[in-house]
Chain A
């Protein structure tokens, strides 16, 4: 393993992470909800009375974030190398897998581990594992 010191951004990573943590803290302490994006969106597929508003509001916040950011600074570089076909395949897999496993990086990875939930720790190990493996296969075996 070779560490990419030139692109390693420890301070913004920690500060951004802390901001994500504060967001999750606000959401559980004020709204009584887990900041798990796939669960928040998934709930919109089965509409229940008085249950959609907070889901839409949180999602709207996510969408507005880059727009608010742009009022103060330029957006950091966004680089997506995947082809459109690969993005479609990846998107379907991400959407299905996150719902099937009851959560994604936010719900299991951040909130679940913070709750010390055994389920979330297992799920995070599972998706981290295949995440590492997939990139290894794509880049170092298939050479994509």
Chain B
């Protein structure tokens, strides 16, 4: 096992990953909610681009996670935090269904919401604040459920 490198190195890689993710979204056209909705609009003029975005991302991801799955620590010596649950429960399905409704209403999902903030889009910022409130509501309900 490699010795963990400095905290700053890990933070730099996290920043770079986020930056590349955001640049990828912009290049792919996914920071534009109208384009996302054009993909979701099967009944109208359909823009299949988002399907290729997912295809391109998954093609790279498949290789990366194959390598990651064989390692017990990351290249920086950090623990691998890969989910292990295989239980398909109501929460997973209902959460997915609910999320899809919101996604279909505005054409914005969590990652592009942050890109829209950086782009200075007022509508994007309003969505982002509402999204954070939705996450807060989830946390509140969770803490009530546990108590």
- CB-contacts of B1-48 with A (<8 A): 7, 10-35, 37-38, 40-48
Interface pair A21/B134, CB less than 8 Å apart: no
Name 13 A/B residue pairs within 8 A (Cβ), A-sorted.
A1-B43, A12-B28, A17-B56, A18-B24, A30-B13, A57-B11, A62-B114, A64-B18, A65-B23, A69-B26, A91-B106, A92-B131, A130-B97
| Complex CA–CA separation, A55 to B30 (angstroms) | 22
Least Cβ distance of B27 to chain A in Å?
Answer: 4
| Residues on the B chain within 8 Å of A138, using CB | 104-105
Give residues in A with beta carbon < 8 Å to B: 1-4, 7-10, 12-35, 37-38, 41-42, 45-46, 53-55, 57-69, 75-82, 84, 86-102, 104-106, 108-111, 113-119, 122-136, 138-140
| Complex CA–CA separation, A42 to B16 (angstroms) | 20
Least Cβ distance of A130 to chain B in Å?
Answer: 3
Given contacts A45-B139, A101-B98, contact A94 B109 (CB under 8 A): yes
| Residues on the A chain within 8 Å of B46, using CB | 1-4
A112's nearest neighbour on chain B, judged by CB, is: B83
| Residues on the A chain within 8 Å of B13, using CB | 26-27, 30-31
Interface centre among A38, A80, A89, A133, by most B CB within 10 Å? A80
Judged by DSSP, the binding face of A is helix
| Complex CA–CA separation, A67 to B123 (angstroms) | 18
Least Cβ distance of A85 to chain B in Å?
Answer: 10
Give me 11 other A-B pairs in contact (C-beta within 8 A), A78-B119, A90-B105, A105-B103 excluded.
Answer: A13-B56, A61-B14, A76-B26, A76-B31, A91-B102, A91-B108, A91-B131, A106-B111, A113-B58, A130-B97, A135-B41
Interface pair A134/B17, CB less than 8 Å apart: no
Give residues in B with beta carbon < 8 Å to A: 7, 10-35, 37-38, 40-65, 67-69, 71, 73-76, 78-83, 85-88, 91-111, 113-121, 123-124, 126-139
| Complex CA–CA separation, A113 to B101 (angstroms) | 20
| Residues on the B chain within 8 Å of A91, using CB | 102, 106, 108, 113, 126-131, 133-134
| Residues on the B chain within 8 Å of A14, using CB | 52-53, 55-56
Least Cβ distance of A101 to chain B in Å?
Answer: 2
